Amino acid sequence: MNSKSALVFGATGLVGSHCASQLLASNDYSSIVVFTRSPLPLSHPKLTKHLIDFNKLDDSLIRGDDLFCCLGTTMRKAGSPEAFEKVDFTYPLEIARAASASGVKQFLLVTSVGSDPSSANFYLKTKGRVEEAIKPLRFQSLLIFRPSFLMGNREEFRLGERIGITTMRALTAAPIDALKKYRPIAASIVASAMIAAAQHGQEGIRVFESDEIQSLGSL
C-alpha cells in the first residue's frame, strides 16, 4: 500500500474519467484530487473535488505527487482557434507551471499521435507546442502520451472521431509496424498506461506513442 496523491484535470472527459476511476481503485494512491469546471457526479472516501474557474487557477490547490492532465476540446466545441488553444495549450501550461512550482513530481500529459509544433494542422501544432512549452519545466518526470483516435462510451456524437476510428481501423488492419501507432485505442487503456507509467518512477522526459500506450496499458 502506497500513499501517493494524484491530481486529475479533465476527469469529466473520456480519458480523464477512466484515470479518476482507476486511480480511486488503485492501492498506490491514497488521495485523488480532481479539478473540473462542471460538477463531477462521483463520491469516494479518497476523492476531493474542486469546482474551479480555469481562467483563475488557484495555484495553492495544485499540490501532490502525480498530476494527470487529460484536458482537451475540439475546434467545433471550442468555437474558435483562440478558444481551442486556451484549453489545449494555455490551461495545461498554466497547470504545469503551478505544479512545477509546488513540487509535483510527475506530470502526465495527454496530447495526440502526430503532435508536432511545426505541423500545418492547427490541432497537431497546438499539441506539439504544448509539449515543447512544458518540457523545460522542472519535474522528476514528464510523461507525454500521444494516443491515436480514442474509443469509448462518449455521450456526445463526434462525427470526425467516428470517421477517424473507422478509417484508421481499416488502414491499420495490416500488420505493418509503421502504422501501429495510428491504430484507434480505448480511452481506458490510455488511462491504464498513464497510471502504469507513473508507477515506474522514471526520471526525465518520456514520450509514449499510441502503440506503446496500447502495450503498457494492456499489461
Q: How far apart are CA 216 and CA 211, in angstroms?
A: 9
Helix axes 14-25, 187-199, angle to 10 degrees: 50
- Per rule CB under 6 A, is residue 54 in the interface with ligand NAP? yes
Does residue number 110 form part of the binding site for ligand NAP (CB under 6 A)?
yes
Is residue 30 close enough to count as binding ligand NAP by CB under 6 A?
no
DSSP per-residue letters across 144-197 = EEE--SEES--SS--HHHHHHHHHHHHHT-S--GGGGGGS-EEHHHHHHHHHHH
Closest approach, Cβ 1 to ligand NAP, in A, equals: 29
CB nearest ligand NAP: which residue?
13
Contact 54, 72 (CB under 8 A): no
Q: Give yes or no for residue 72 binding ligand NAP (CB under 6 A).
A: yes
38 sits near ligand NAP (criterion: CB under 6 A): yes
Which stretch, 41-49, 70-78, 133-141, 198-206, contacts ligand NAP (CB under 6 A)?
A: 70-78
Establish if 147 lies at the interface with ligand NAP (CB under 6 A). yes
21 binds ligand NAP (CB under 6 A): no
Set of cell numbers at residue 58: 488557484
Distance in Å, CB of 72 to ligand NAP, minimum = 2
**14 lies in the site for ligand NAP, by CB under 6 A:** yes
Residue 64 vs 72, nearer CB to ligand NAP: 72
Q: How far apart are the first and last CA of the chain?
A: 20
Interface region with ligand NAP, contact rule CB under 6 A, candidates 10-18, 59-67, 95-103, 133-141 = 10-18
Between CA 11 and CA 121 the distance in angstroms is 27
Residue 67's closest CA among 28, 31, 101, 106? Answer: 106
Nearest to 139 by CA among 107, 108, 110, 109: 107
Residue 73 is a binding residue for ligand NAP (CB under 6 A):
yes
* Interface residue list for ligand NAP (CB under 6 A): 10, 12-16, 37-38, 54, 70-73, 87, 110, 112, 147, 149-150, 161, 187
